[in-house]
Amino acid sequence: MDKIEFLKLGKQPIANRFLDQGDISNEFFYDLNVGLDKDTGLVTQMDYVDAPLMFNKEYAYRGSMSKTMVNHFASFSLSVAEILPANAKILEIGSNDGVFLKNWNSENAIAVEPCGNFAKETNELGYKTYNEFWTKELSERIVEEHGKMDFIFAANCICHIPNLDETFSAVRETLNDDGIFVFEDPSLARMLVLNSYDQIYDEHPHIFSVSALKNILARNDLNIVKVDELTVHGGSNRIWVKKSTNAQIDPSVEYNLDLEKSINILDLSTMKSFADRVQKSKEDLLYILNMFKQQGKKVISYGATSKSTTVFNYCGINTDFIDYITDTTPEKQNKVSPGMHIPIISPEDGFNNSVDYAYLGAWNFSEEIKKKESSFTGKFITHVPTVRLL
C-alpha cells in the first residue's frame, strides 16, 4: 500500500489488555499513526500491531455486556432468517462470546474466533468454532468440511484484519454463488462528523468508507449490493455483498457513495482537517479535567473501553485526573487500564452519588447508560462530537 500519514495518536498500548499491577513494567507500546492509501482511499494505520498480541485467550471484550448489542443482533438475525432458505448454512467470522451466533441453530451455524477463551465458550454451547484467524487456508478447510455457505457474517471484525484482499477473496471462495456476505464496522463518515478519533486503536487497523470498500471489494470480484446505516458503536455501516455481477443494487449504495463524495472522504485535505479537530478535542478535554481537578471534584470514567485507551493515552489522562474506571465486565475488574494504569472496579463498588463527573468511555451507549443511571446526581462528560457535559 502506498500510504500518506495524516494523524499521529502517540505511543499506545494494547487497547484491550487490562493489566495486573505486576504486569505494568513489561507493557508493550507502539506508535499509533494513521494514513490514507493513495490507491483505494482506505484510511489505515501506517504499521499494524501483530494480531496474536491483541487477539488471544485473554481477550477481554464481551459483546454481550450491552443490552443494545444483544438486541441489535437478535433483531438482525430475525430479519435475515426471513430471506434465507430453510436450514441455510451460516458462518460467522469473529464470533466473540456468541452474541450473534446464539440466535441461530447450532446445527447450521459455525464460527471462526481467534480468541481462545471465547472459542471455547461457543464450542461448549455446541457451535463448531475454529479457534483460528480467518485465512485463505482456513477457508479452504471449512469448505472441505462443511461445503459452501449461504450466509457469511462478521460484526466489528473485518476492520480488525490488516490483509483485506486475502480476507475478501477467502470469503468469495467460501460463499455459494447466490450467497450473501454481510459485515458491519464503524463508519469513517460518522467518525469524521462526530470527531470520534477514539475509534482508532490497535484493533482497528482500518476505518471504512463505503467508497474505499467498493474499490477493494471490486478487485476481489465482490459487489456491494446494499448499505444499512446503523447507530451502534457510534455509527456503523452494514455492508451487504454478493458475488454475482447482475445482482440487484439497492439505492442505499449510490446514496452513501454520493454522501461520502459530498464530504470529500477520499481526499487527504479532509483527513488533515480531521487531524486538526482531534488536536483541539485533546486540548478541550484536558482543559475541563484540569479545571475539575483544581476544584477538587471527584472524576471517574464509565466503561473501560478500547476507545478510552486511545483517548487517555493520546491526552495523557491518568490517575491525576481520573480516580478510577467502572466497568461491568468481570475480566476487566480489579485490573488497571492499558498504558495509563487507572484502576478498574465494578459499577456496584464505584458508581454512586459521591461522583461529581463521569467521563463516558462508552459514549456509544450513552442512551442505555443514562437510562440505567437515571438517579445519578453528577454529570457525564463526553468528547463526542465536542467536549461537553451531558
Closest CB 237 distance from ligand DWN, rounded Å = 14
- The residue range among 143-151, 213-221, 256-264, 327-335 that interacts with ligand DWN, by the rule CB under 6 A, is 327-335
301 binds ligand DWN (CB under 6 A): no
Q: How far is CA 20 from CA 23, 65, 328, 331, in A?
A: 5, 22, 17, 11
- Asked if residue 237 binds ligand DWN (CB under 6 A), the reply is no
Q: Which phi and psi angles does 215 have, rounded to 5°? A: -65, -45
Q: What is the DSSP letter of 154?
A: E
Binding mask 120-159 for ligand DWN (x = CB under 6 A): ------------------------------------x---
Indicate whether 236 belongs to the interface with ligand DWN (CB under 6 A).
no
Out of 265, 365, 380, 381, the residue judged to bind ligand DWN by CB under 6 A: 365
369 forms part of the interface with ligand DWN (CB under 6 A): yes
The contact mask relative to ligand DWN for 261-300 (x = CB under 6 A, - = no) is: ----------------------------------------
Stretch that binds ligand DWN, among 72-80, 103-111, 135-143, 366-374 (CB under 6 A): 366-374
- Site membership for ligand DWN, residue 327 (CB under 6 A): yes
Question: Taking contact as CB under 6 A, which single stretch among the options 40-48, 122-130, 249-257, 322-330 is the one that binds ligand DWN?
Answer: 322-330
Q: Lay out the site mask for ligand DWN across 57-96 (x = CB under 6 A, - = otherwise).
A: ----x---xx------------------------------
Amino acid of residue 5: E
Number of residues written out for the chain: 390
Which residue matches cell numbers 454481550? 64
- Please check whether residue 129 is in contact with residue 122, taking contact to mean a CB–CB distance below 8 angstroms: yes
SS3 310: helix
Please, are residues 12 and 30 in contact by the beta-carbon 8 Å criterion?
A: yes
- Closest contact distance (angstroms) between CB of 269 and ligand DWN is 28
Closest CA to 329 of 371, 285, 365: 365
- Determine how β-strand 109-112 pairs with β-strand 90-93: parallel
Compute the half-sphere exposure of residue 304: CA atoms within 13 Å on the CB side of its CA.
Answer: 34
Nearest to 307 by CA among 205, 200, 235, 231: 200
Pick one of 303, 338, 350, 378: the residue that binds ligand DWN (CB under 6 A).
Answer: 303
